[in-house]
Chains A and B, each alone.
Chain A
Amino acid sequence: MSDPSPAPRADEPAGARVDLLAALKEAAIAAAVAFGLFALLIGVRTEQGPSGALVIATRFGPLAAFVAAAFAGRFIFAVTRHRFTIPAVLFASPAVKRTAAAVSPYLAAVLLIFALVVPVVFYGNRYLLDLAILIVTYIMLGFGLNIVVGLAGLLDLGYVAFYAVGAYSYALIAQDFGLSFWVCLPLAGILAAFTGLLLGFPVLRLRGDYLAIVTLGFGEIIRLVLLNWQNLTGGPNGISGIPRPSFFGLPFTASESGFAAAFGLHYSPTHRIVFLYYVILALALLTNWVTLRLRGLPIGRAWEALREDEIACRALGINTTTTKLTAFAMGAMFGGFAGAFFATRQGFISPESFTFTESALVLAIVVLGGMGSQLGVALAATIMLGGFEVFRQFDQYRMLVFGAAMVAIVIYRPRGLVSTRKASVSLRRRRNIPTDTVDRTQSLGPA
């Protein structure tokens, strides 16, 4: 009696009509696909039986829920598709754009001030301080990788190798030679930079995805060596009892010669946390400052030129060999600093902390933040690691959500969160440039 699709009305724009029948069909197909995908992996659970062999149990409830969700989701999508789309609402609506434009000039300054006062505001909250240290560590790693990926355009999937080299260098030097954190820090950075050169030499001729896969292999080699070189690195057991940093020679202990006693304070373990926070914040700001300065120097411009067009670069007489190697070495050095800091904060390191997932996380921070944008990196690191913490209570779903978020962000916001940045060099007026110029190589074929 009643027609499922309402008769078109004259005052409605033609494209806005919703075809319910087509929507139902789409939803049915989606449900069928979902059934195919989930029937075995969700609908059946394999468990170790009493005899050790696998037995199966069925889980039709969750399976039905997934299929129903696919049906409903696709149906709602099909019905509302003509009205609005998610990215338009989230990123392109005038209100969001206006707010972003109004906020952006002050955002960096506000964030910096906030970062400086974090330990004061959250002094009593050990958990938040630890989280802040973690976030700033990743911001620093992001800044370091940004030199390699964002500026020089060299896709590095093995950045964690330098982080690992820094951490192990610090741990081994500090333990075997008894040198302090402040002596070891530059050493760790230098060693990591040399590792960067070591990686840089063989991959000079490679570009794009080949480079990516070789750096990934390199990262894995470093991890496997750390895992198997038992005499030096302790293998899978790692290194424990790594010395803690001191405040200009004053250790953070309750003893007479400790930091608290020297300043007439009551001893509190939080002192060290706050100190560590400021150390990593200073390191991150140093990285940021160096990056910004380098961008204006000839080498920084050479990096950006290299990213845009390697052939043109060579034609202009830029030495691509040294340009690439310095990019690798600089990025690696900051990774090494971060690694040394990681080792001293944890007091314990093992190869488990340096898996490919870490590289992927840092790369995701750089790309999702908007390549080449320092502010974007800081924002992305904060959002991602903060998001991780929010999902901590759903521990086993955390990585699933992380992966899905990576896909979603890159689809709805392929240019990253901050998709414009100030040009490093400009003729008269400093202008914003879209990060589109950062990498214009299209994914359409190797061409």
Chain B
Amino acid sequence: MEYFVQQLINGITLGSIYGLIAIGYTMVYGIIGMINFAHGDIFMVGAFLALIAFLVLVAFGITAVPLALLIVLLVSMALTALYGWTVERIAYRPLRGSFRLAPLISAIGMSIVLQNYVQIAQGARVKPLPPLVQGGYTLFDGNNFAVRLSNIQIIVVVATVVLMAGFSYLVARTRLGRNMRACEQDLKMAALVGIDVDRTISLTFVIGAALAAVAGLMFLLYYGVVDFFIGFLAGVKAFTAAVLGGIGSLPGAMIGGILIGLIETMWSAYFSIEYKDVAAFAILIVVLIFLPTGLMGRPEVEKV
């Protein structure tokens, strides 16, 4: 029981990170119907930017952890958003209206570019960061197993909840959110009623990248290491989460993320750690067979 609760906590933390990345996928897919394959690598870039920003701050003598974290968060969000914007501008916008596979190929190319760019610029070695946020609470203790909730886990989950709330507000209540929803329903009609479609899509990428940057920072804090390859697997799992939750649905992305996190953690805890990724992919396949629209997605209507 204690073991299970511990895994539950770990799974939810991991799932929050996946959920934050999944939002980027689900929004972009909802609006322009493409898998932004480079999104996982945007997340990786975000983690690297956070790491470097932190080291630079330390070099400048700013070591108060809360202040440093806040600055790092803002810097990495802003710069990663710039990456998201640039990728969209260079690799996707020229292909708007092109055939369906073109943006996907371009995205795969961009993913390779980002990975290798970071590898060349920062080296292929794993980059460790000493734990910044330490301590935590022992929730309860029984059967020689203490269930612990660390501060970093609290930060990850709280940050995710706050961001989700803010983001839901943005989509539901603001002008930008309305434009995004309009674009999601019908790009051409949105353009006809005076919505700047290009700008809306750009902003979607910017927001998605900023959220991925938060996920990157959380990943860095939680695991303490980053390398140039973390984006691929995290990206695929986050996409799985988006599909599981129902693509195009924001709460779906979050729930899907948490489910994937839980499945992965539970699988590693109770079955075999080697096959945890197999479990995640197998879940994806099973869900798509029996529930092709995901948990909260709308059924896609076939029209001739």
Contact = CB atoms under 8 A, between A and B. Distances in A.
B288 A210 contact: yes
B111 interface: yes
Interface string A207-223: 01110111011101100
Given A442-B97, A444-B96, A56 B277 contact: no
Contacts of A367: 101-102, 105
Interface in A181-210: 202-203, 205-206, 208-210
B120 A439 contact: no
A217 B29 contact: no
Interface in A403-421: 403-407, 410-411, 414-415
Nearest to A208: B100
Given A217-B240, A406-B108, A210 B292 contact: yes
B246 to A, nearest CB: 12
Contacts of B285: 202-203, 214, 217-218
Contact of B52 (A41, A404, A414): A41
A445 interface: yes
Interface stretch (A97-105, A295-303, A357-365): A357-365
A60 B33 CA distance: 40
Interface stretch (A12-20, A32-40, A106-114, A129-137): A32-40
Contact of B121 (A42, A205, A224): A42
Contacts of B239: 213
B243 A439 contact: no
Contacts of A155: 101, 104
Interface string B116-145: 111111110101111000000000000000
A2 interface: no
Tell me if A's interface is mostly helix, strand, loop or mixed: helix
Interface string A363-374: 110011001000
Nearest to A34: B86
B120 A400 contact: yes
A445 to B, nearest CB: 5
Given A54-B129, A221-B281, A442 B106 contact: no
Contacts of A414: 95, 98-99, 102
Contact of A410 (B109, B120, B292): B109
B193 interface: no
B193 to A, nearest CB: 15
B21 to A, nearest CB: 14
Interface string A425-439: 000000000001011
A396 B120 CA distance: 7
B97 A443 contact: yes
Given A364-B105, A407-B90, A436 B275 contact: no
Contacts of B91: 407, 411
17 contacts: A40-B48, A41-B121, A209-B29, A212-B104, A213-B239, A216-B236, A364-B108, A396-B116, A402-B109, A403-B109, A403-B110, A440-B99, A442-B97, A443-B98, A445-B32, A447-B33, A447-B303
Interface of A: 33, 36-37, 39-42, 44-48, 52-56, 149, 155, 202-203, 205-206, 208-210, 212-214, 216-218, 220-221, 224-225, 227-228, 311-312, 356-357, 360, 363-364, 367-368, 371, 396-397, 399-400, 402-407, 410-411, 414-415, 436, 438-447
Interface of B: 29, 31-35, 45, 48-49, 51-53, 55-56, 59, 75, 78-79, 82-83, 86, 90-91, 94-106, 108-113, 115-123, 125, 127-130, 184, 186-188, 232, 236, 239-240, 243, 272, 274-275, 277-278, 281-282, 284-285, 288-289, 292, 300, 302-304
- 5 closest cross-chain pairs (CB), A and B: A406-B109, A403-B112, A217-B281, A403-B113, A400-B116
